[in-house]
A and B are shown apart, each in its own frame.
Chain A
């Protein structure tokens, strides 16, 4: 179930950049004067001077030579190996100017440039597997020829690319029309500017809407809708919004919204531009069910539904949101989500998998209960070591042992720091830690940059290496100064230790801790750098790490700077994605310039306000759920039926795995149990059972994430055949029905009159779908109950039937 939805993390991509293959450069080009095309036209070329980094390598990239399929592949091709997508300028320079099998023994020949192997290959004058990439005499030819003639110099400039500018910034067509051109300008750190349209790689994010011709910057509308065209040059990536309006789109009146929030303003501005009319807001029972699920992972109880529907206060939705935000299940459900994002996985804990994961989960629950700001929660994880700075090893071992004491155990969740993030077995080396941190807190996928320049994103291997160094001091095991006390404790309880780094505590040792003994625990500790060092923060400036310092502090400070481009955006986008069918950036854990947000103004506003509201998750959820946008009905109209990107209607979502399980239990519980089920989290899949149930059949079938890799896609909300089989016929479902206390109550009636049956029918609907039944539904259910052998048997059938409706299993 999991495999196919988890897109291969980075390379899915590469997918031939349109235009890089099969396009043979032509001599005739009509760019404005002073562009590279003009300067290197045959007539002018003799005066022109190409730069290796600014012109030669981008051209080679644009021609497709350093793609994965050609010389950019790991083993190179035909004896020539270039860095993938051209980022390692010195290596590429060496490769291009180095020895070859040609007569001259080199790839370039400055004395007779035209005889250079490089040019003869590129023009297919000699056999070239890649065919002819360059026409003799074209400007591209002259760029290469002049570079060779001038000695084939390597990277000269010390300036770096500051940014790419594209004009116009947006392209819109009122209907399909002729292609239009974009101009791409590189701005360098020394202030120089150059039009590089002809050198940039380009891609359309949806080539069913618009096609782009790389090298010319022309965009052609081919369908209707909106997308982005993305340009790549050097390290720069810029996405340009493209919109092709459909003149035949129906025109409908705007719905009469009772609400208008800042979120709605931003969503509506975009919808009006696109000619999309949103659906009206949903009715009260839909609102209540949706709010309960999205905020607390819990279905509303029958009495609550009745009261809410009867309430005539126009402010009742706002009041309900406040009430839900205060419920214990709010903390439980959002702790589950935060555990998804941070990768709390029992199988990967260093020891005592279930218990450790449980501690992690409950630590999150407490933070949410106490309304800890999100940045503080993250700091508690990111800066964690097992010991407080002045704690002795003995005190530490006693503290951790006390968490497991049978009598009056100490409470792990009261710790300020949560070190389990760092002790996971799949996070041993700094690189894995770097990948995990980038995914958990920045929504960035650095996987690609582990081996080569990220093909879509700006990241290079050097960026990745620098980022990983922030985590090099973080160790797990026995710190050098604790070896002696650790060894003594180990001896006392008979824990066998090989080597200096300690051993995992197992159940047989834990027995001692349960009795109240102190047993030896490994720890997350720091082995700080001995010398001062400078580290680069993902191209956002260098920081100095003092000798003996913890580089993670600098990282945390940077995350907290209000203009950090990723930290706040990532979490607001993830929270948004949990409340809708998709993120504003989707997938929500892939923030990169080539995957722009569907509504940038909305994302910026949410992120800025989230920071301004002191990283308050409740503020964020309140703001989202109060909006008309979140409260839209699932019923579509002629303008928005195909919209899945702009939030103009609700898109039904299958209930998350934990909610399906808890929901069934809730719907069949005893009449006096509702409150208990809602509040006693120790027996809930969104509560304390969350970790214990991970990996069970039911959770597997409904896609609870294993949290084993850095990907939000691990949580699967797609329906499947096995889910239908589960709901209809799984032993667990039969067991829940058989043990239903409500059915037991009904079973005490050997017969029931119509009034009683109607009351049960009403109750059943409220329990499963949070609305009263409509009259044909009542009649149909009544007919079934009246011919059943007993009230219990009839009602059991009815509960089974409601459980198997789409209305139950979808959040709509």
Chain B
């Protein structure tokens, strides 16, 4: 794991602070100053919708109706609210709001393996044994201070990739399960236990802080020691405020709103995501699984995968739009790779990393367009295409984080956030 004092960005801001430290602040004061920084809220947030398993690009947002039958498959394109943009017939709701997102086609890489492909797409850097890059949510929660009484980064339901060199404290709070339609949901332990008053809890916490002296001065030596402290503080603030509990509480939503998102876990996860973003969580990941359609690609997509994606995502983008939050929330929808252009003997499509597509929406994104393209059989990008690095650089830029920023990781040299990527100019404002 990471060794502190690493993982601080080498930015002017830190340089100034370290300068102050040099001028006589104790380490403790310095830490409290950094803590104070994270008290200040920002209004920027971001969401990653991960379509786990490698969604078929040519059956979703990059259809090739002119290709031979064994390539184009069974689905037909439909028109969208934007002239000239056509997407899969099983995505009618998303078709109506094509002005709210941008389709990135012709993303290409060569890691057609779920493990490393995922790691690549969620960090924007080719995996290497020398250094573990942090996933988006960890970077965002590192860079954008969260409210003190809310987790900065939530994963519904499992974490995807890790905080890498930033250290465990920038990992997500994982809900462990997905919310279900009209069922109460709670993250265990975030509501103060029955029979204990807030005053007593606070006094216990103060006592505990005072007694936790053994590691004083060792905080910055080891990642585990430091992150335990930060987690303890964050847990205290979350438990002693109602904000987290209320953000996770889907019963506060009217029935018709729950219906709009759909009677499936994916829709309800996105409804919870909307609530979390509205409350001030900086980054949420939502997973929609089972896109690894090696067989029965079309029946799986048509009946099981595309309808919830269409309903849930359309409702989510609409809600954020209605509440003015698309102005401050950037959204990335992606899988780890695309699928083979030619349908295989089992009616499936296999892994294919040379071409894939993703969606970008919300803050910082110039929406309502398609950028990039693939060839006539959706096998490869026309021209150079985009890399996952470019996609990451674009997403970070949209969020307002410089993809070229450097971190002082524990490898003894500055690490560039996105090593090889360049933001896709036409996709961003």
Contact = CB atoms under 8 A, between A and B. Distances in A.
Interface in A81-120: none
B222 interface: yes
Nearest to B214: A807
Interface string A773-812: 0001100110010000000000001101110111101101
B110 A75 contact: no
A787 to B, nearest CB: 9
Contacts of A639: none
A657 to B, nearest CB: 15
A722 B173 contact: yes
Contacts of B171: 4, 718, 720-721
A724 B168 CA distance: 13
Given A8-B116, A15-B126, A781-B211, A730 B188 contact: yes
Interface in A204-255: 204-209, 222-225
Interface string B146-163: 000001000000111111
A393 to B, nearest CB: 40
A769 interface: yes
A641 B112 CA distance: 40
A75 B174 contact: no
Interface string B128-158: 1111000100000000000000010000001
A15 B211 CA distance: 46
Interface in B165-181: 168-169, 171, 173-174, 176
B254 interface: no
B211 A208 contact: no
Interface string A631-651: 000111000011010000001
A651 B222 contact: yes
Given A718-B1, A728-B236, A769 B119 contact: no
Contacts of A800: 204, 208
A3 B113 contact: no
B135 A805 contact: no
Given A73-B110, A652-B225, A642 B189 contact: no
A800 B193 CA distance: 13
B383 interface: no
B213 interface: yes
Contacts of B176: 700, 722
A69 interface: yes
Interface in B213-257: 213-215, 218, 221-222, 224-225, 227-229, 231-232, 234-236, 238-239
B130 A205 contact: yes
Contacts of B232: 724, 728, 804, 806
A728 B160 contact: no
B413 A719 contact: no
Contact of A724 (B158, B212, B234): B234
Contact of A718 (B126, B218, B224, B225): B224
B218 A635 contact: yes
B221 A719 contact: no
B340 interface: yes
Interface residues of B, number: 74
A206 B413 CA distance: 12
B119 A12 contact: yes
B204 to A, nearest CB: 5
A801 B239 contact: no
Given A206-B411, A725-B235, A800-B208, A810 B228 contact: yes
Contacts of B426: none
B190 interface: yes
B229 A729 contact: no
Interface string A1-45: 111110111011111100000000000000000000000000000
* B-side interface mostly: loop
B19 interface: no
A605 interface: no
A674 interface: no
Nearest to A787: B203
A505 B238 CA distance: 47
A641 B217 CA distance: 13
B196 A734 contact: yes
Nearest to A799: B204
A798 B207 contact: yes
A145 B224 CA distance: 57
Contacts of A769: 214
A697 interface: yes
A7 B162 CA distance: 10
A806 B168 contact: no
Contacts of B224: 651-654, 718-719, 810
A68 interface: yes
A723 interface: yes
A528 to B, nearest CB: 36
Interface string B20-39: 00000000000000000000
Nearest to B190: A725
A731 interface: yes
B88 interface: no
A4 B159 contact: yes
A811 B80 CA distance: 59
A810 B174 contact: no
A436 to B, nearest CB: 19
B115 interface: yes
A74 interface: yes
Contacts of A726: 188-189
Contacts of B112: 68, 73-74
Given A11-B115, A15-B127, A798-B207, A729 B214 contact: no
Interface in B365-380: none
Contact of A729 (B163, B190, B218, B221): B190
Contacts of A798: 207
A68 B113 CA distance: 10
B211 A721 contact: no
Nearest to A208: B411
A3 B155 CA distance: 12
B200 interface: yes
Contacts of A730: 188-189
30 contacts: A3-B158, A4-B159, A8-B114, A13-B127, A15-B126, A206-B411, A207-B130, A224-B412, A652-B218, A654-B224, A718-B168, A719-B227, A719-B231, A721-B231, A722-B174, A724-B232, A724-B235, A725-B187, A728-B235, A729-B191, A730-B188, A730-B189, A731-B189, A776-B213, A780-B207, A784-B203, A797-B200, A802-B208, A804-B205, A806-B225
- Closest 3 A/B residue pairs (Cβ): A8-B115, A4-B162, A69-B110
Given A719-B231, A726-B189, 14 more contacts: A8-B113, A8-B114, A11-B116, A12-B115, A14-B116, A68-B111, A69-B111, A73-B112, A719-B227, A721-B173, A728-B236, A776-B213, A801-B207, A804-B204
